[in-house]
Amino acid sequence: MFQYGVSRILWLVPTLLAMALVTFLVMHATPGSPLDPVAEGANPLSPEAQKNLAKIYGLDKPLPEQFAIFLGKAARGDFGTSFVYKTRTVAEILRETFPVSLLLGTLALALAIVGGLMLGILAAVYQNRMWDYVSVSLATVGVAVPNFVLAVFLIILFSFVVPLFPTGGWNSPRDWVLPTVALALAPMGIIARFTRASMLEVIRADFTLTARAKGLGERAVIFKHALKNAFIPIVTLLGPMFAAVGTGSFFVESIFRVPGMGRFFVLSMTGRDYPMIMAVILTYGAFLAVMNLVVDLLYGALDPRIRY
């Protein structure tokens, strides 16, 4: 277990390096350089001045060296200045927006886990009855329909038809409801589907029969015996859930005007704000890699049968 943990942590390093390399290469492969003299809206300075500029920004150095510098700075959280918000560094923007995204993501994940487990258990306990159909259809819609489409329907239903919640913003907890639901439905559907399958398998297992045979009540059988065992495979879903919520937040945040990282990311895409794009991708990538690691270790800790 310890050895496995150490080797997984060590594997983080090449994974992150590969991510950084890919982002770096893409940044340099994009057509147009900030100092290209023939590009549209090119820098009007003389070649000598351009050379000086290149020297100041380190652009005259060979690519491997530039990559090393980029890595060194990125490791210290320095991603340079945003192209679009010229007065602010990327790190400043991230510091401001990341907590907002984290709050939204945590709320959505909590709702997805609680709601998904409940739907899945209901569906498994009442297999092929009404609750099963309700929960399976809800899960299918959540899984199949993109969250920005769900967001549109949620706004129409709960802001216009029944004006319960505002269409956007991020000031009071009332503003949190619709973005959280829009973001949570997809992971909730996945969790519900898996919980249902996993519970169905466990409910038919011999140990459940034993629990019933010794006279335990339905509640104790389901929650103490079945769910505990059904829960283990569901934990593996959490890694991809983080990814789902993370990338999903791009769309949900920009529809509901949530001032989070995702919305800034979308704005930086349209504005071709490369330092911002790279920083956001690396932050998300690193966050998800760490979360995947945590989930895998948790999996081992939860299930004593698993040996690494």
Query: Rule CB under 8 A: which residues touch other proteins?
Result: 14-15, 18-19, 22-23, 26-27, 29-30, 140-149, 151-153, 155-156, 160, 167, 185-187, 189-190, 193-194, 197-198, 201, 230, 233, 236-237, 240, 243-244, 246-248, 250-251, 254-255, 266, 269-270, 272, 274, 277, 281, 284-285, 288-289, 292
Which of 50/183 has CB closer to other proteins? 183
Runs of H (alpha helix) within the chain? 2-29, 47-57, 63-75, 90-125, 130-144, 147-155, 173-203, 206-213, 218-220, 227-235, 238-255, 261-270, 274-302
Which of 46/308 has CB closer to other proteins? 308
Which of 53/83 has CB closer to other proteins? 83
d(CA 302, CA 299): 5
What one-character DSSP code corresponds to residue 92?
Answer: H
Which of 50/111 has CB closer to other proteins? 111
HSE-CB for 28 with a 13 A CA cutoff: 12
Q: How far is the CB of 273 from other proteins (least distance, A)?
A: 10
Q: How far is the CB of 120 from other proteins (least distance, A)?
A: 12
Q: How far is the CB of 183 from other proteins (least distance, A)?
A: 9
- Among residues 189, 221, 220, the alpha carbon closest in space to that of 203 is found at 221
Q: How far is the CB of 248 from other proteins (least distance, A)?
A: 4
The CA distances from residue 34 to 43, 59, 274, in Å, are 8, 10, 11
Which of 5/240 has CB closer to other proteins? 240
d(CA 83, CA 86): 5
